[in-house]
Amino acid sequence: MKVTKAEFIISAVGPDQYPDDALPEIALAGRSNVGKSSLINRMINRKNLARTSSTPGKTQHLNYYRINDSMYFVDFPGYGYAKVSKSQRQVWGSMIEKYLLERDTLKLVLLVIDLRHPPSKDDELMYDWLKHYDLPVCVVATKADKIPKSRWQKHMKIIKDALVMRPQDSFVMFSSEEGIGKDELWNQIMQHTGE
Binding site for ligand GDP (CB under 6 A): 30, 32-38, 52-54, 78, 142-143, 145-146, 175-177
- Smallest CA-to-CA distance from 26 within 144, 160, 140, 180 is with 140
Q: Which is nearer to ligand GDP, 80 or 130 (CB)?
A: 80
Q: How far is the CB of 39 from ligand GDP (least distance, A)?
A: 7
User: Is the CB of 30 or the CB of 119 nearer to ligand GDP?
Assistant: 30
CB-nearest residue to ligand GDP: 35
Q: Which is nearer to ligand GDP, 12 or 28 (CB)?
A: 28
- Shortest separation between residue 103's beta carbon and ligand GDP, angstroms: 21
Residue 134 beta carbon to ligand GDP: minimum distance, rounded to whole angstroms: 26
In terms of CB distance, is 80 or 189 closer to ligand GDP?
80
State in angstroms the smallest separation of the CB of 20 from ligand GDP: 26
Q: Per DSSP, which regions of the chain are E strands?
A: 6-12, 25-30, 62-67, 71-75, 106-114, 137-142, 170-173
CB burial class (10 A; 0-12, 13-18, 19+) of residue 175? Answer: buried
Instruction: Please enumerate in sequence order all residues whose Cβ is within 8 A of that of 95, keeping only pairs 6 or more positions apart, or say none.
Output: 14, 59, 60, 62
CB count within 10 Å of CB 60 equals 16
The SS3 assignment for 64 reads strand
